[in-house]
Amino acid sequence: MENALSAEPALTLDVARRVLDSGPVVTVFGEPMLDGWWHGSSTRMAREAPAPIVRLGRKDSVPGGAANTAVNLAALGARVRFVGLVGDDEPGAAVRDLLAEAGVDVTHLLAVPGIRTITKTRIVVADQVMVRLDEGNDVHPSEALDRLAEAAVAASEGVDAAIVCDYGTGMLGEPVREALRTRAARPPLLVVDARNGIPWAPLRPDLVTPNAEEAGTLLGAPLRSGTDRAGTVAAEASRILAASGAAAAVVTLDRDGTVLLEQDGGIHRTWARPASDKQASGAGDTFASALTLARAAGLPLPVSADFAQAAADVVVSRSGTSVCSRDDLLRHLAQFADSALAADDLVRRLAGERAQGRRIVFTNGCFDVLHRGHTAYLNQAKRLGDVLVVAINSDDSVRRLKGESRPINPAPDRAEVLASLSCVDYVTVFATDTPIPLLERIRPDVYAKGGDYTIETLPESEVVLGYGGEVRILDYLADYSTTAVVDRIRTPAPVTEDVARLEARAKRGRRSPIVERRAGL
């Protein structure tokens, strides 16, 4: 999984394009479903029962369950194989046709007589789901499960990644789990998205994606709404990873975004972009699909989580079981490409945020070469309120502060990278040496600054405290700084014995692949 994308520190439009153009081969194992969205109108109640009479109009059928995951992957540019069972019935044929139309390989989608394809039909009136009708049984003949296990092994050969989508119907039971556990060739990346991740722990997945309820199952206790669920997840990281058997986990918390947990103790938070309430379904499938694609393409885990969050933000703003396509995601990310707001625009936007009762957090800096210290700091700042504003020094201001060799990246590029982080809500550029004039205009509730400062040494403190605001000094990661990163880049790597030997061979006319790469050939 190590490639040029492995070094990317943040999600930019260019990084997203390279991921979407990578075209990995991904196998999806899971329960295919047919989602029905039947729309109608209702103006009166039935005489025979206290129930509304619905006059049906448009009927939409789309792939649901694991089939939705497969369609999302295909729409994002992956080459997808699907493994699952459907009934030998009309809904099963519809699922097969819809998957094939989306470009998914359905060679290993098995039609089994005697079982009914799982369907979930929602009756919608005036954008309100009135009732959901579920059909399909959870009983699968042992012979069918044995065939499915064989298909799962065959479909996972030669792939870049595989994702398990287990909704707990019994389809992905012990025969399939054992076949995948004992297969000769393991995919480079195994992702498990399961209602109950514990039975999948023996497979030692690279990544699991439990939601809040599923994380509660792993912990043996629910994550209660109205509490600091993200904080609980971070505190229980070792237990979640141990119970799932995974190298890493991304716990999805709907409106609260996600929390990435890594074995080395690394924690990364993503933040969901606010969206109006819609009857959306399947955003978790979109997130898991985009996360799998990004990791298969070689993006680091934190950036992969941001990539997946962006895709999920696209679908939660829509109604029904929705799909995020390549073009959808690029259009969404393009909003942040020219993302630095002028001061007047920022003041107007923040007035609207305050009118909705949101707490404004402000921080500032050069943010020249984004690194882990920056992202950890910005996530800390976001947790102090509801809206995070990041003000960056203009190029001239950076030169005055850091010298003529800086900035490395111009202000528009720095603004785009910062705006792509899900924890950042607004970015602006200021030309003065301090952000005091800007602070006097927007008067944030909290002014946050890194731990290499104190309240007493900050010239901004007097202004913020004077209007009744709060100054917070955040943790300082001493091992991370832009200067240190730049110094490492500019310092030639030591020539090892192996590299010296290869360069000597190249001088004798036998050029090695490593030397060719170093030479840019």
List active site positions. 285
Closest residue by Cα to residue 221 from 206, 236, 208, 200 = 236
Could you report how far apart the first and last alpha carbons of the chain are, in Å? Answer: 22
Query: How many angstroms separate the CA atoms of 400 and 26, rounded?
Result: 50
* CA separation, residue 404 to residues 397, 398, 401, 515 (Å): 11, 9, 9, 34
d(CA 510, CA 433): 55
Name beta bridge partners: 81: 27, 105
Instruction: Measure Cα distances from 31 to 278, 350, 379, 453, 517 in Å.
Output: 25, 45, 36, 54, 44
Short-list 139, 138, 31, CA closest to 86: 31
- Cβ count near 154 (within 10 Å): 15
Q: Which of 135, 121, 132 is nearest to 89 (CA)?
A: 135
- Hunting for tokens 């509490």 — which residue is that? 227
Distance of CA 376 to the CA centre of its chain: 17
| 366 neighbors 401 (Cβ within 8 angstroms) | yes
C-alpha distances in angstroms, 249 versus 173, 293, 305, 426? 22, 16, 10, 28
H-run or E-run covering 413: helix 411-420
Q: Which residues have CB under 8 Å from 462's CB, separation 6+?
A: none
What is the rounded CA–CA span in Å between residue 35 and residue 61? 6
Show the 3-state SS of 462-511.
Answer: HHHHHCCCEEEECCCCCCCCHHHHHHHHHCCCCCCHHHHHHHHHHHCCCC
Concatenated DSSP letters for 116-158?
A: --EEEEEEEETTEEEEEEEE--S---HHHHHHHHHHHHHHTTT
CA 205/CA 191 separation, integer angstroms: 6
| Structure token pair of residue 75 | 């729409």
